[in-house]
Structure 1
Amino acid sequence: MEFQEVYRRYRPELQQVEAILFDQLRVGEDALTESSGQLIRAGGKRIRPLFALICSRFGDPASDRTRVLRVAAALEMVHMATLVHDDVVDDASLRRGQPTVRVRFGNRPAMYTGDFLFAKSIQLLTTVERPDVHRDMARAMVRICQGEIDQIRDLHNWRQTLRDYLRRIERKTALLISVSCQLGAKVAGARADVVRTLRRFGYYTGMAFQMIDDVLDYVGDERVVGKRVGGDLMQGNLTLPALYAAQQAGRGKELAELLSGPPSAAEVAKAVDIVRESGAIAYVQALADRYREKAIAVLSGLEDRVEREELAVVAAFVNGRAY
């Protein structure tokens, strides 16, 4: 089974999620509608809604699909909100190959756009009468914000450890993917043990997802990735490839010195070369593969069915993707 085959199976429901997103973002304020809709029109993998939809199939076949679709849309709006805020913090100009909201509308409108998306996700969830779902989402949103603060605190910090990095990406990325699997299953009436298993699968897959994102910042094709290669270094965001390279004998010290202040484009290009030559890419890819293997091992606790295979296929796509 290939990823595109999985995607085709869920495309009709993903299109319904897309329709819910556009409907939710139609408000009386044209500027908010336009700015928040920009990310939807730019496309995206819609990995979080996809995970929610697949995991919902482990629940009651007679469950209300409308609730599942609304939860999937709310999850994507939370993700979109974090992207808009990230782009302001990172001073980013490209997202999904398109100008970011901050570039098109300005930093202050972009921050309110992110806030608006967070608020709309909460508003949409109120139509799903499950207090436990609301609690899970609220906890996730709090921890996502903590992860963003961790990243700001660690900008330009070469003394951060592997443990610091793993905690940060757990909060920034893995958590929302984990919650997507959890809530998709829960709102569809899956058993508690199945929900717990899917949540763990989502956590391990989410950790791998962010590691691959960090690798692509060094080896990705900008036309495919949709954002500037080396952007993390330019912003002072030291991800695992850079942290690993800085610990290696030889050019590790040179790397830290290159990035000791706001780097020029030439200095970033040189730093990217140092990271590529350090063995960091293979190291981080191998670590991401270990997390994917953990995710697959977790799935063995579920009954053998097509959705279990689909989750394994999507996890493999996460680790092998070029964007």
Structure 2
Amino acid sequence: MKLTGIAHICQDLKKDMQVVERELSAAIETDHPVLNEAAHHLLRAGGKRIRPIFVLLAGKFGDYSIDRLKYVAVPLELIHMATLVHDDVIDDAATRRGHPTVKSKWDNKIAMYTGDYILGRSLSIVSRLSDPEVHKLLSDAIVEMVKGEIEQIRDFFNWKQNLRRYLRRIKRKTALLIAVSCQLGGMVSGAPERHVRALYHFGYNAGMAFQITDDILDFTGTAKQLGKPAGSDLRQGNVTLPVLYALNREEETKKRQIHAFLQSEGEAVPIDDMVRLIRNSEGIRFAQALADTYLSKAIHALNELPLGKYRDSLKQIAHFIGERSY
């Protein structure tokens, strides 16, 4: 596996991340040809693997064992993968990370069942750990993620939502699974309880910043960087933080444009005009400031952890999240 982005931060995880990659491939292997091809198509599209990396780094604060940690790292990444397949159906997305989505290469039915299959495999793998608390934390996170997804669908093109509602949604959709990745890595390794708590708080705040940064990049990134067209979230009706802020704080002419776009469900104003409007609005700066606040909280949580290169690696990842362009 070629290390890129986040994985470069902690080079001595390379061998264990290769174990995770092999286990991911083995986990989705099936004798059903269409299901096997669709699941591996998604896996080959790659990703940052941020959740497994957090599991392994968190495990360094206890009795580290890749042979145990893989039973958490792999399921967490599979859960994330399953949600991506389902998201692409809901969003009618043709590409992800520059590759055709499962739904565009096959169809919606194949995509939905592929996501269900991957989710089922994640639960099967984590069952190899006997600790019921691990299973409860993971299942609770899945429940909250589903709630977040339902809330997002409910709020498509909704110009009446507020900041609190947006933050609760991204907490459920993104931040909790990242927080649980850090928490379970520490738990499975037997790290002290205070360190596990610190890892959870780090992961939660880093996860909030990660999603806000994603929402910023949807307007400021290029199609090549994002692997999908700029403004894809807004095109689908997802009212993210930069839009929400601009809708409430920009000058009246711009507010009317945003309102017209949302009220008409994208018909009244061209999407390219909306992307330019939001890109040049105060909404981007406000969202960046809030992401920076969450990153500061994440870094502060690390003060509870022992000094050393693994704490430094987590801090570097927090900085990467804030500075990334993809």
**1:143 corresponding residue in structure 2:** 144
| Offset at residue 33 of structure 1 (A) | 1.0
Aligned partners of 1:173 and 1:206 also within 8 Å: yes
Go from structure 1 to structure 2 and tell me whether the alpha carbon gap of 1:29 and 1:5 turns closer, same or farther (over 3 Å shift).
closer
Aligned partners of 2:260 and 2:269 also within 8 Å: no
Equivalent positions of 1:39-78 (< 5 A) are 39-61=42-64, 64-78=65-79
**1:28 corresponding residue in structure 2:** 31
| Offset at residue 5 of structure 1 (A) | 4.1
Deviations 1:65-86 (A, max 9, x none): 2110121011000000010111
**1:226 corresponding residue in structure 2:** 227
Aligned partners of 1:259 and 1:267 also within 8 Å: no
Aligned partners of 1:20 and 1:70 also within 8 Å: no
Equivalent-residue separation in structure 2 for 1:150 and 1:263 (angstroms)? 20
Go from structure 1 to structure 2 and tell me whether the alpha carbon gap of 1:265 and 1:258 turns closer, same or farther (over 3 Å shift).
closer
Go from structure 1 to structure 2 and tell me whether the alpha carbon gap of 1:96 and 1:289 turns closer, same or farther (over 3 Å shift).
same
- TM-score, with structure 2 as normaliser: 0.95
Deviations 1:189-226 (A, max 9, x none): 11111111100100000000000000010010111111
**1:235 corresponding residue in structure 2:** 236
| Offset at residue 134 of structure 1 (A) | 0.6
Equivalent-residue separation in structure 2 for 1:260 and 1:6 (angstroms)? 44
**2:173 corresponding residue in structure 1:** 172
Go from structure 1 to structure 2 and tell me whether the alpha carbon gap of 1:168 and 1:283 turns closer, same or farther (over 3 Å shift).
same
**1:280 corresponding residue in structure 2:** 283
Equivalent-residue separation in structure 1 for 2:165 and 2:267 (angstroms)? 27
Decide which of 263, 275, 279 is 2:266's aligned counterpart.
263
CA RMSD of the aligned region, Å?
1.4
Decide which of 238, 248, 251 is 1:249's aligned counterpart.
251
- Find runs of 4+ consecutive structure 1 residues off by over 6 angstroms: none
Q: Tell me which moved more, 160-169 or 52-61.
A: 52-61
Aligned partners of 2:16 and 2:66 also within 8 Å: no
Decide which of 17, 20, 40 is 2:20's aligned counterpart.
17
Q: Which secondary structure state, in structure 1, belongs to the residue aligned with residue 263 of structure 2? A: coil
**2:89 corresponding residue in structure 1:** 88
> For structure 1, which runs of at least 5 residues remain unmatched after alignment?
none
| Offset at residue 228 of structure 1 (A) | 1.5
| Offset at residue 254 of structure 1 (A) | 1.3
Residue 290 (structure 2) pairs with residue 314 (structure 1): no
| Offset at residue 266 of structure 1 (A) | 6.9
**1:112 corresponding residue in structure 2:** 113
**2:195 corresponding residue in structure 1:** 194
| Offset at residue 258 of structure 1 (A) | 2.5
| Offset at residue 278 of structure 1 (A) | 1.7
Deviations 1:274-296 (A, max 9, x none): 11222111110111000000000
Q: Which secondary structure state, in structure 2, belongs to the residue aligned with residue 194 of structure 1? A: helix
> Residue 83 of structure 2 aligns to which amino acid in structure 1?
T
Q: Which secondary structure state, in structure 1, belongs to the residue aligned with residue 191 of structure 2? A: coil
Q: Which secondary structure state, in structure 1, belongs to the residue aligned with residue 42 of structure 2? A: helix
Q: Which secondary structure state, in structure 2, belongs to the residue aligned with residue 259 of structure 1? A: helix
Aligned partners of 1:246 and 1:255 also within 8 Å: yes
Q: Tell me which moved more, 255-264 or 300-309.
A: 255-264
Aligned partners of 2:55 and 2:184 also within 8 Å: yes
Equivalent-residue separation in structure 2 for 1:106 and 1:195 (angstroms)? 42
Aligned partners of 2:215 and 2:242 also within 8 Å: yes
Equivalent-residue separation in structure 2 for 1:94 and 1:260 (angstroms)? 27
**2:211 corresponding residue in structure 1:** 210
- TM-score, with structure 1 as normaliser: 0.96
> For structure 2, which runs of at least 5 residues remain unmatched after alignment?
none
| Offset at residue 9 of structure 1 (A) | 2.1
Identity %, equivalent residues = 45
Aligned partners of 1:17 and 1:70 also within 8 Å: no
Q: Which secondary structure state, in structure 2, belongs to the residue aligned with residue 300 of structure 1? A: helix
Equivalent-residue separation in structure 2 for 1:266 and 1:299 (angstroms)? 45
Equivalent-residue separation in structure 2 for 1:260 and 1:127 (angstroms)? 49
| Offset at residue 260 of structure 1 (A) | 2.3
Aligned partners of 1:56 and 1:187 also within 8 Å: yes
Equivalent-residue separation in structure 2 for 1:155 and 1:74 (angstroms)? 29
**2:125 corresponding residue in structure 1:** 124
